[in-house]
Structure 1
């Protein structure tokens, strides 16, 4: 049990659906456990992208999972909110239409929804 909090689908854009999840983490092993927990749900395992970022005592970690640059968007928002010891995962199910630069805005929107849930929205 990882304490994973799933907000589910928080927005859609041109058919793509975005969900956001997160959990408290303090090590790379805990990050891996949270990601494994998330992907134990078949719909998340089959998602097009599960991008994430976390700020740990040992430094920042991020992964784009094929959505180039999305991990950095999440990481910058975590840094701005001064939220360490937490992983935020933005999941995208591709809807058939390319979003171009708007995909970064959707990652920001999903991350903001999570931060707002924690009452850290900026």
Structure 2
């Protein structure tokens, strides 16, 4: 699993983005368990994720309402199938309001750009 840590920091909240090829919801949950073997990710406030595969469009907000849909929409626009993307947030004590969605988008864009650069 590719992990990009410390990519965004805002008012104490910190973000990371991770991802890997993935073909099913069950495989996504296995990859998430693997990510959480790292105690830092296991203790994160939110590990939101999305995946488009033969099982359909699957998302999980992990308590960050709406974040999974943001990831899913970006995957749909990019046409990326069979690839799990996870955005992790460590809450810093101050609510970010709508900025949290902007940060999720920025994190996913960071991952997609790195993925594209790796394909070239």
Note whether the superposition's TM-score is higher than 0.5: yes
Which residue in the other structure is 1:10 paired with? 7
- Select which of 96, 99, 102 maps to 1:99: 96
Instruction: State the Cα distance separating 1:41 from its structure 2 match.
Output: 0.3
Query: Is 1:36 the counterpart of 2:33 in the alignment?
Result: yes
Q: Please tell me the root mean square deviation across aligned C-alpha atoms, in Å.
A: 0.9
- Secondary structure of 1:118's counterpart equals helix
Query: d(CA) in 2 for partners of 1:111 and 1:89?
Result: 8
Residues 21-100 of structure 1: matches in 2 within 5 Å? 21-100=18-97
> What is the CA–CA distance in structure 2 between the aligned matches of 1:74 and 1:9, rounded to whole Å?
18
**Stretches of structure 2 lacking an aligned partner (at least 5 in a row):** none
Runs of 4+ in 1 over 2 A off after TM superposition: none
Q: Is the 8 A contact 2:36 2:42 kept in 1?
A: yes
> Distance in 1 between the 2:9 and 2:78 partners?
24
Q: Which has the higher helix share?
A: 2
Counterpart CA distance in 2 for 1:80 and 1:64 is 19
